[in-house]
Amino acid sequence: MVIETSPTSYKRISTLLAYVQGGNVTTTTLALICLNEVLTFDAPCLQALIDGKAIKLFLNVLEANFLGVRRSQFAALRCLNKLCSCRVLQKDIMSSRGVYLLFSCLNNSDYELMLSAVHMIADISADPSCWATSRECGGVQRLIDLLSAHQIKLTCTSQTTKSENLKLKLTVAQYAAKSLSILYRDEENRRVASTSSIINVCQFWIRSRHQNVTIPILILLQHLSLAASFRKQVNDSGMVLDVLHHLQSTDMELKQAAADLILICADDQSAFKCFYKQEFVAEVFQMLSSNQENEALMISLSGIIWKCSEIKVCIQQFEALNVMPVFTQLLESQPVQVKAYMVGTIGTCFRNLALRDMVKKTGGIEIMVSFLQTTYIPLIVNLNDALAKGSEDPEILVQYLQLDAVQLIWSCLKNSEFQVQTSAATALCTILKNMKNANLQIENSLDGIECIIDLLASKRKELLIPACTLIHNLAKDKNALSVLVEFNVASHLMRLMKTQHEGYFETDLVILNRSQTPELAPPSANFRTTPEGELLATTYDLKYSRPTYTADLQWNRVWNAKSSCLKPRPYH
């Protein structure tokens, strides 16, 4: 846009706005047409628009409903569309009144007016301040209706051929889909979607050859499919099988949108029929191998492969396709998001003996262990899980010892992120158990043990259960047990025993029972033995002035809902 600095621009704009406000329909229309030609973003022009309350005048024209106002409304929309990119005036256009009037134009059967409005709505939808108003005025539902514009009879002022009329309808559907693909970022707007009607019309456009409509349709389906109920509808409709064809498109934007939707829909593995399509894995793997320069596409494709790895039939295809050299290469050359997905995939592949051997031969273990010092949380979480699964192989365990992998996993407990702490504690439980079964020297960490005890102060059940399980496993080792005693772990365990989470409650009992030493118990505990010679720790519940026995695993444990304490069976 040419920026003018004429000193007369302020006066010119003010005069035209006066005609818009006080003239008849013809004068108003001509003034709006002239304004559209002379509008600039120079300071005098903007000041004239603000002083003359131009946005309010344009909205008044849109609100008018008397005979012959249609041309004025069309001209006003053109002016508003031009000014929409100006931040100074944008907030007035995106006010509740402005958004409402724009959506009201969509109820008009006049095609040109509707097209101008929906084009502008597609532009302003990117601003979150419009999302609530769009929903409250019924605009979201109207846009859904316009997705079926090919079935709507529209009125055009000029004579149009059949092909021109179809092209105009496609444009309406395109901008309606584009607007919805943005508005559906809002969870409340997603709830407006009628699953049955919108799925049918989306499937129509996905099967069509009109990419300008198909791409925003795929994007809006991505947002809607974040809800499990809608995702199930998409999978049950068989629509994803149609989306697969777009993965072969030469248009990278269309291919990316298709891959992103497949990645989301693949979360429901039981309903995702593509997993069981014989050539599906081969197609995705081939694209993964040949599109390594496209970072965004590689992230989606590697995520799809990761979800494929959870299906037994896909694992068998991995073996036939000899995938591991490519997976290992991707670990070295791709961004961290792709690495996270590939590590998760390799972890699942450890269940297959042939694929496990391929990982060892391609140097995948060394590469994965080197990632333990990264800062990308999803990658660390998947690493801990994968290394735990790989520890079932004695040869891989030996590699862990050579690469100091166990010590690096211990260090993950110091990470401030809850997901990393949980995955590290869970992985250590599995790895230490497998090391003992393989008669390998168990590697403990003094700092790590201190960290795991500190984690007992957490209120997250997901973290407490693996933490208690890890302490349980450590208590089997005399050296580790002495460290636990030194850190007074029993006082933490006794506190947890008063909670209602039975999972780590039982673990606490086992730890205390296994220790067989009064030094492990807190100072408030008394000890005596059962007739069978089992050491029994007794603490006193001050609230009820009676002993609560904490180590007899043969008790019938019954929770008291009111007091949240345990009722032991009488001791004889």
At 143, list the tokens.
């846009």
Average pLDDT over residues 534-551: 34
Is residue 33 included in any domain, yes or no?
yes
Distances (CA, A) of 158 to 5, 106, 347: 38, 19, 64
Is residue 44's pLDDT more than 70?
A: yes
34 band by pLDDT with thresholds 50, 70 and 90: very high
494 band by pLDDT with thresholds 50, 70 and 90: confident
552 band by pLDDT with thresholds 50, 70 and 90: very low
30 band by pLDDT with thresholds 50, 70 and 90: very high
Model confidence pLDDT, tens digit, residues 163-183:
777 788 888 899 999 999 999
pLDDT of residue 325: 94
User: Among the ranges 72-86, 102-116, 499-513, which has the highest mean pLDDT value?
Assistant: 72-86
551 band by pLDDT with thresholds 50, 70 and 90: very low
Is residue 42 included in any domain, yes or no?
yes
Block residue for tokens 């009607």: 197
pTM comes to 0.77
At 550, list the tokens.
């904490």
Average pLDDT over residues 234-252: 89
Nearest in space to 348 (alpha carbons), one of 388, 404, 381: 388
Report CA 504 to chain centroid distance, whole Å.
Answer: 30
507 band by pLDDT with thresholds 50, 70 and 90: low
The answer to whether 463 and 498 are in contact (CB under 8 A) is no
Is residue 307's pLDDT more than 50?
A: yes
Model confidence pLDDT, tens digit, residues 253-304:
999 999 999 999 988 877 777 777 778 889 999 999 998 889 999 999 999 9
Block residue for tokens 């005098």: 44
pLDDT of residue 524: 43
The answer to whether 69 and 61 are in contact (CB under 8 A) is yes
pLDDT of residue 564: 32
Average pLDDT over residues 361-380: 93
pLDDT of residue 297: 95
Is residue 78 included in any domain, yes or no?
yes
Where does 184-251 have alpha helices with state H?
187-190, 195-206, 211-224, 228-236, 239-246
Q: Containing H/E element for 160?
A: none
Block residue for tokens 């690469």: 403
Looking at the DSSP bridge assignments, the partners of residue 546 are 541
pLDDT of residue 433: 86
Mean pLDDT is lowest, of 153-157, 194-198, 447-451, 526-530, for 526-530
Is residue 358 included in any domain, yes or no?
no
pLDDT of residue 154: 59
Average pLDDT over residues 522-550: 37
Number of domains in the chain: 1
pLDDT of residue 537: 38
Is residue 508's pLDDT more than 60?
A: no
Q: What is the overall mean pLDDT for the chain?
A: 80
22 band by pLDDT with thresholds 50, 70 and 90: confident
Is residue 530's pLDDT more than 70?
A: no
**Between 137 and 111, whose confidence is greater?**
137
Is residue 304 included in any domain, yes or no?
no
The answer to whether 538 and 547 are in contact (CB under 8 A) is yes
pLDDT of residue 155: 60
Is residue 245 included in any domain, yes or no?
no
User: Among the ranges 49-58, 271-280, 453-462, which has the highest mean pLDDT value?
Assistant: 49-58
**Between 478 and 77, whose confidence is greater?**
77
3-class secondary structure, 277: coil
Half-sphere exposure of 174 (CA within 13 A, CB side): 16
Range of the domain at 19: 1-95
Is residue 164 included in any domain, yes or no?
no
Cβ-Cβ contacts under 8 Å for 538 (sequence gap 6 or more)? 525, 526, 527, 528, 547, 548, 549, 550
C-alpha 236/C-alpha 215 separation (Å) is 21
pLDDT of residue 470: 80
pLDDT of residue 168: 83
Block residue for tokens 């029993």: 490
Is residue 160 included in any domain, yes or no?
no
Model confidence pLDDT, tens digit, residues 344-369:
999 999 999 999 999 999 999 999 99
> What's the full length of the chain, in residues?
572
57 band by pLDDT with thresholds 50, 70 and 90: very high
Is residue 545's pLDDT more than 50?
A: no
**Between 445 and 294, whose confidence is greater?**
294
Is residue 439's pLDDT more than 90?
A: no
pLDDT of residue 106: 87
